[in-house]
A and B are shown apart, each in its own frame.
Chain A
Amino acid sequence: MRQALHAEWTKLRTTPGPGWLLVAAIALTVALSAMVVAAVHYPFAGPDQVLDLTKLSLTGIQLGQALVAILAVLVISNEYHTGMIRTTLTAIPRRPTVLAAKAAIVSGVVLAAGAIAALGCLLVGRLIPPGHGFTTAHGYSALSLTDGPTLRAVAGSALYLALIALLSLGAATAVRDSATAIGVVLGLLYLFPILTQAVTNPHWQRHLQQLAPMTAGLAIQATTNPSNLPISPWAGLGVLAAWATAALLAGGLLLHLRDA
């Protein structure tokens, strides 16, 4: 297993794509967050009466997850594309080990990058809003990691990205083709919120929100109005973990059963 991990780390380290994707993921996440936060001024009209500054500052994660998904998809589908997968499986014939090593390396790398991105978002959310009227006089305190819910949101966002990477890796192992895999992953993430809106029945709406990988997973970012959440923060992350596990199991099973 250690050799498998080392091999996967070397592959990831020596191909130019992953590094750039991680940098781009961090940069775009923080950039989107900064744009959104910079565009908000205190008396605002929006869906919520009290703006959840932490959640707003972490908006960029919604974009960053797309790049993380590309990275995780390419880790496996590039091997199929170049035929490298045959070499890999000759070197390490125990296929579950290969997938486990890939999962460990990718999630570890994404977790680190996700932490940087989330901290960058927090910094943006700490520096800009006070100048835009979100002051203690108006009931908003500066974001800080010493605040429990904010810490949970930041750490949870990094975990969220790691789970998205695992989900993407599993899906790509099952589908193999990169374009289809990324379509499946982004469809899974982005379609649920839209379908939720289309359903008018509140019970169905709530169930869909509890089931959806993105909506449930991002519940971890909420710091205000906990009673309005369809699912509690950690349970929501658990739902996403269940999706990721299911995708990895399906991918692992297909990897085991099919010719490479």
Chain B
Amino acid sequence: MTAGTITPDRSGLEAGRDGFAQLLRAEWTKFRTVRGWVIGTAVAALVTVLIGPLTASGSHCSANGQTCHPSVPVGPDGEAVTDSFYFVHQPLAGNGSITVRVTSLTGLLPTPPAGRSAPVGTRPGLVPWAKAGIIIKDGTRQGSAYAAVLVTGGHGVRMQYDYTHDKAGLAGGVSAASPRWLRLTRSGDTLTGEESADGTHWTTVGTAHLAGLPATVQAGLFAASPGYSQITQQHFGGETGTGGPTQATAAFDQVSLQGTWPSGAWRAEAVGASGAGDSSLDGFKQTGGTFAVSGSGDIAPEVVGSAGAGPGQPIERTLAGAFAGLIAVIVAATMFITAEYRRGLIRTTLAASPRRGRVLVAKAIVIGSVAFVAGLAAAAVALPLDTRILRANGNLLLPVGSLTELRVIVGTAALLAVAAVLALAVGAVLRRSAAAVTAGIVAIVLPYILATAYVLPTGLSQWLLRLTPAAAFAIQQSIPQYPQVSNDYTPVFGYYPLAPWAGFAVLCAYATLALGLAVVRLRRRDA
């Protein structure tokens, strides 16, 4: 018989498709038809939304002697700022510049208090970020755009603008023997800060582009000094603080103005004087060509923690419910694979689709997408809703730019999605639900608890939040760490050692590693 005469027996049925789309569809069908998994995911979304308002409505601003001030100045980018300082200014029409020489910067600190009582006296001294210099600002409204060149108590000459930007200039303090010359030039929307040690050789410290600066701005001399504080955070949130207002006094001379200065006279004003600080000491004195300006307060982004002016909270506090959602997602994602082993369905699954790695990837895509959508819906409802409830209760929630808010919401959803993939992979490796669920929860949630609500020293907490999957919660941090604001940037106050997306990448790395391990194990072992 020759080969040509054989007619192979062919089934009349059309061959089933075995594409990846088909696999995805199969997994999606499995997911949506198991009531427990759908309920689990719905529970995850629901608790994320519901727990928020519960904690939110329990958070009334306690007004025992303290006044609640649920508003905070908002900077040009939508972020919360501190904007109170002593301002000696006059209008500048159009382009122009101001040049001064700073010959001294001195200040007053509160005396160290005996016990926990408020400080009574003062002693000479400067906080590192006491600042004085020249500023060009869009009016005297708190939170308006500005650019400034300034000398500081301990960080040399700086050029700062729009609250969050800070560029370093010449280091070292200022004295009569070693004065600093400062110049700020406006040209359209561009402001250039320059410094000099002798008034002849100038170097540029920085350049700011302040879009939408009006034709006439307020320009002049200023002084500010942020509050001195030493706060000890107690276990689980309580805190005892010692500290108080400080003051900085700068002496200026050689003031020279270029351009059109229509009023020709200086006006002195304490911007945002309602802020903390004994503003009765602030003031301005002119003797001939010499100006002495004293001020307290700060021109800087508002932060959470000891330096914060009030009981400010970051917006991610409203997403505490996401932890409950996370646990529900981990349970559902683990069962998405362990239930197959328990029921023996895995053998059918692998018989239908023998390429095992693809099965696991399809499962990861399905459970990850489901968790992302559920998390996105939950976070997008919870954050605005709880923010509103908290603010209605007189709490101060620090506003952030809309891009940051978006990152917090989408990041929470992405965190749930990647956590679901990690839980699925751990479930595939361990095959046992109880052990896999525990591993998932312990790996992600326990380090967070140990780092933020426990007695661990700060350094150890920070390492936990670098190395464990809990690093991913950095993606919820809405207020960054600003080097130009002295503060306790510790996990207890919600500051993560890694940048938001870097922290998230740590979780992604764990998930990828676990998924890879799961694929290898699934291929090598009998199902």
Contact = CB atoms under 8 A, between A and B. Distances in A.
Interface in A168-193: 177-183, 186-187, 190-191, 193
Interface in A196-221: 196-205, 209, 215
B330 interface: yes
Contact of A47 (B323, B335, B434, B492): B492
A66 B441 contact: yes
Contacts of A178: 432-434, 437
B236 A186 contact: no
Interface in B429-488: 432-438, 441-442, 445-446, 448-450, 452-460, 463
B236 A197 contact: yes
Given A191-B323, A194-B323, A199-B55, A228 B235 contact: yes
Given A70-B435, A228-B235, A194 B59 contact: no
Interface string B302-329: 0000000001010001101001100110
B516 to A, nearest CB: 23
Given A66-B446, A197-B452, A228-B234, A40 B460 contact: yes
Interface in A132-153: none
A204 B232 CA distance: 21
Contact of A194 (B313, B320, B432, B438): B320
A195 B437 contact: no
B442 A63 contact: yes
A39 B235 contact: no
A196 B433 CA distance: 29
Contacts of B452: 197
A36 B456 contact: yes
A62 B437 contact: no
Main secondary structure, interface of B, reads helix
Interface in A99-131: none
Contact of B434 (A49, A51, A74, A196): A74
B450 A59 contact: yes
Contacts of A203: 62
Contacts of A46: 455-458
Contacts of A191: 323-324, 327
A96 interface: no
B58 A187 contact: no
A241 interface: no
A82 B158 CA distance: 71
Contacts of A40: 457, 460
A207 to B, nearest CB: 9
Given A52-B455, A183-B331, A62 B317 contact: no
A48 interface: yes
Interface residues of B, number: 59
Contact of A39 (B234, B311, B463): B463
A29 B36 CA distance: 33
Contacts of B160: none
A44 B370 CA distance: 44
A159 interface: no
A98 interface: no
Contacts, number: 165
B141 interface: no
A46 to B, nearest CB: 4
B433 A179 contact: yes
A55 B446 CA distance: 16
A180 to B, nearest CB: 6
Contact of A182 (B234, B438, B457): B438
A45 B462 CA distance: 12
Of the listed residues B234, B235, B450, the one surrounded by the most CB atoms of chain A closer than 10 A to its CB is: B235
Given A46-B458, A198-B55, A187 B327 contact: yes
A198 B234 contact: no
A230 interface: yes
B449 A194 contact: yes
Nearest to B319: A198
B460 A199 contact: no
A77 interface: yes
Given A52-B455, A182-B434, A200 B395 contact: yes
Contacts of B324: 187, 191
Contacts of A197: 236-237, 317, 320, 452-453
B435 A198 contact: no
B331 A48 contact: no
A230 B236 contact: yes
A201 B60 contact: yes
Interface string B216-257: 000000000000000011111110000000000000000000
Contact of B331 (A45, A179, A209, A230): A179
A255 B264 CA distance: 88
B342 interface: yes
Interface in A75-99: 77, 81
B51 interface: yes
A56 B327 contact: no
13 contacts: A47-B490, A59-B450, A63-B442, A66-B441, A67-B438, A81-B342, A182-B437, A182-B441, A186-B442, A194-B453, A195-B55, A198-B318, A201-B60
* CB-CB nearest 10 A-B residue pairs: A198-B320, A179-B433, A46-B457, A183-B331, A44-B457, A178-B434, A204-B58, A200-B59, A198-B55, A193-B453
Given A196-B236, A197-B237, A200-B317, 8 more contacts: A40-B457, A46-B456, A62-B454, A177-B36, A182-B437, A194-B449, A203-B62, A228-B238
